[in-house]
Chain A
Amino acid sequence: KIIRPAVITGRLSSVPGNLS
């Protein structure tokens, strides 16, 4: 089953850890 076939641009999708 192909969930997404083979196939870009937003902001909503985060910093991956603590910065301080």
Chain B
Amino acid sequence: MSLPVLHLKGIIVELSFRTGEQISTEQYLQLQRMCNEFMTQNVQWKPSRFNARTAVDDGGLMLFNSYTGALAVFGPEENQQVVALLDARPDDPVPESSLSLQEQLLQHGFLVNAATDELKQAEELHQSVQQQNSMHLVLLATEACNFRCFYCYESFPRATMKNHVVSGLEAYIQQQAQSGKLQQLTISWHGGEPLLAPHVIEQLSQSFIRSCDQHGVLYGAEISTNGYYLSRERFEQLLDWRVERFMVTLDGSEEVHDARRGLHGGGGTFRRIVDNLLSLKDVQRPFEINLRVNFDNSNLEAVTDFIPQLTEWFADDPRFKVFFRPVGCMGGENDLNLSVCDDRTKDRKIWEFNEAAIAQGLTVSSFISDILLPTGAICYAAKPNSLIVGSDGKLYKCSVAIDQENNQLGQIHGDGSMELDLDKMALWTTSGEETDAKCQACFFRPACQGNHCPLYRMRTGNRPCSYEKRQIKRTLRTLWLQSQSEEVK
């Protein structure tokens, strides 16, 4: 590397780290591109340790980098050149014909400067999770539910959010927005069944939006609902309250779904949920509804048979996406009776279902590619800027272990003040890659930081690798199939 280039590179590195908060992503990427142009000609390079790759059906190659989040597909005619570039030694000469490919690989982080300390970069990314300019709150609008799903782990001890908790949250967010430090607020509406308490969602949403808009804070929300009360009117209200992403579960045909996800006190739920969902197709506004399908050994065939029905209803509207997840024993009262799949079956069926859905014209959930973003797979429980607020104002980190003593961190009061046990907080936020050498060396480290599920690590002592990481080649193939399908459409 010649001295002027080294000097330029030094300036760019300094710019992006010292004043990182002041430059836009576009400016950052432009600087990175300039840097790469010089580097291509002047420095030695190596493949990033955070790459994953898989061959695809047409003889091409799919590449993923977990530090930059980049996903790229190379055609069969480029495959050999790309593999040669990735597998070359740092001092190997690059053929003239491969220079433009090399530049692309550098630009998206698949190749890096041979002098780059990628482990240091991963540590710096870990530090960025500690920043306090964004906040994520999971709000239990009510802890009651009108369903009694046979695999549910919740116990529904408390009902609608108390008035003093609502006023405390309004005050807390107003204070945070006013402080000037907060740049982004994300709310996850959860329960129980949150749409049993729409007045809570309305009051808090309007207050949060007012505070955020007044102080230039970016606001967005999502909701997990069983769909029973998701009428078109309610749905449009939620859109007005800036709820952008929805998750609604259907576990198979009417008979199968109703046996698994019936009403409290008995009664089917399938027909009403489907009627609600179909009525939303006429809404001429942007949104994303993730149709979650939970599977275990008892409904594997039913899910396969259900995909054509989902296709008939939703394949013509990509705002509806499918998301397949295995049922697990999470501490619910029915755990001993669950016919959960073994790990190999889970890993196989998730991707079989996704591939079948794409082949039939459905769109798979954006959650899959979200998990592959830098820090995208870290659980909210592991993030210092994230909290769950119960309907009685209790503060938690994890929504699956509400009754666990080290998950009960404190309380929010009516004036917006909070009592928070920081020692308990640290149990959840520092239990990942910090003490796990295998996680530190993993290609997926920038995405999950060993913290995809702190609860799973606490309870089992095992690494909580996400389903996407465990089957990264199948994951990449799914994303490739989806991109091929979109081209055809």
With known contacts A2-B108, A6-B108, A10-B245, A15–B400 Cβ distance under 8 A: yes
B357 at interface by CB-CB < 8 Å: no
> Which of B108, B186, B400 touches A19 (beta carbons < 8 Å)?
B400
Chain B residue contacts of A6, Cβ below 8 A: 29, 32, 65, 68-70, 107-109
Q: Is the CB of B71 within 8 A of A3?
A: yes
Looking at the assembled complex, report how far the CB atom of A6 sits from the nearest CB atom of chain B, in whole angstroms.
4
Give per-residue flags for B317-335: 1 if the beta carbon is below 8 A from chain A beta carbons, else 0.
0000000010011110001
* Min CB–CB distance B435 → chain A (angstroms): 19
Q: A19 contacts which chain B residues (CB < 8 A)?
A: 328-331, 400, 455-456, 459-460
Q: Chain B: which residue is nearest A14 at the CB level?
A: B325
By a CB distance below 8 angstroms, the chain A residues around B136 are 9-11
A3–B108 Cα gap in the complex (Å)?
11
A1 touches B329 (CB 8 A): no
Q: Is B25 an interface residue (CB 8 A)?
A: yes
Of B155-163, B370-378, B409-417, the one with at least 4 CB within 8 A of chain A:
B370-378
**Smallest beta-carbon distance A11→chain B, Å:** 4
Contact status A7-B456, CB under 8 Å: no
Task: Collect the chain A residues with CB atoms within 8 Å of residue B325's CB.
Answer: 14
Q: Which residues of A contact B365 (CB under 8 A)?
A: 13
B331 & A16 in contact (Cβ 8 Å cutoff): no
Give the shortest distance, in Å, between A12 (CB) and chain B (any CB): 5
Residues of B within 8 A of A3 (CB): 71-73, 479-480, 483
Task: Report which of B247, B340, B374 forms a contact with A7, defined as CB distance below 8 A.
Answer: B374
Judge whether A15 and B373 touch: CB under 8 Å. no
Contacts of B25 in A (CB 8 A): 7
Contact A17 B462 (CB under 8 A): yes
Q: Is B211 an interface residue (CB 8 A)?
A: no
Q: For this complex, into which size category does the number of interface residues on chain B fall?
A: 35 or more
CB nearest to A18 among chain B residues: B329
Contacts A15-B455, A18-B328, A18-B340: A8 and B222 contacting too (C-beta < 8 A)? Answer: no
Q: Give the Cβ gap from B311 to chain A, nearest Cβ, in Å.
A: 22
Chain B residue nearest to A6 in the complex (CB): B68
Q: Does B464 contact A (CB under 8 A)?
A: yes
Considering the complex, which residues of chain B in the window 350-400 have a beta carbon less than 8 Å from any beta carbon of chain A? 365, 367, 369-371, 373-376, 380, 399-400
Q: How far is the CA of A4 from the CA of B290 in the complex (A)?
A: 21
Q: Give the distance to chain B from A15, nearest Cβ to Cβ, in Å.
A: 5
In the complex, the answer to whether B373 meets A12 with C-beta atoms within 8 Å is no
The answer to whether the Cβ of B96 comes within 8 Å of any Cβ in the partner chain is no
Beta-carbon contacts of B441-476 to A below 8 Å, as 1s and 0s?
000000000001101100110101111001000000
Determine whether the beta carbon of A13 is less than 8 Å from that of B370: yes
Q: CB of B134 within 8 A of chain A?
A: yes
Q: How many angstroms between the C-alpha atoms of A7 and B247 in the bound complex?
A: 26
B343 CB contacts on chain A under 8 angstroms: 17
Query: Bound complex: CA of A18 vs CA of B465, how far in Å?
Result: 13
Q: Find B460's partner among A1, A2, A5, A17 (CB 8 Å cutoff).
A: A17
Nearest A residue to B67 by beta-carbon distance? A6
Partner of A4 from B186, B369, B452, B464 at Cβ < 8 Å: B369
Task: Report yes or no: A8 in contact with B479, Cβ–Cβ below 8 A.
Answer: no
User: Does B224 interact with chain A (Cβ within 8 Å)?
Assistant: yes
B188 at the interface (CB under 8 A from A): yes
Contact: A10 with B108, CB < 8 Å?
no
B136: nearest chain-A partner, CB-CB: A9
**How far is the CB of B225 from the nearest CB of chain A, in Å?**
11
Task: Check A9–B134 contact: CB distance below 8 A.
Answer: yes
B477 an interface residue at 8 Å Cβ cutoff? Answer: no
Which residues of chain B come closer than 8 Å to A20, judged between CB atoms?
Answer: 329-331, 335, 459
Known interface pairs A8-B375, A16-B465, A20-B330; A1-B340 also in contact (CB < 8 Å): no
Chain B residues in 8 Å Cβ range of A15? 328, 330, 400, 453, 455-456, 464
On chain A, the residues within 8 Å of B470 by CB distance are: 16
Do the beta carbons of B452 and A16 come within 8 Å of each other? Answer: yes
Q: Is B138 an interface residue (CB 8 A)?
A: yes
Task: Judge if B260 is at the interface, Cβ distance under 8 Å.
Answer: no
In Å, the complex CA distance between A12 and B371 comes to 11
Q: What distance in Å separates the Cβ of B481 from its nearest Cβ neighbour in chain A?
A: 11
B349 within 8 A of A: no
Report 8 cross-chain contacts, Cβ distance below 8 Å, ordered by A residue: A1-B72, A6-B69, A8-B375, A12-B247, A13-B367, A15-B400, A15-B464, A19-B331
**Chain A interface residues (CB < 8 Å from chain B):** 1-20
Closest 6 CB pairs of A and B: A13-B367, A6-B68, A11-B188, A3-B71, A18-B329, A4-B71
Given contacts A6-B109, A13-B376, 6 further A-B contacts (CB under 8 A): A7-B374, A10-B245, A15-B330, A19-B331, A19-B456, A20-B330
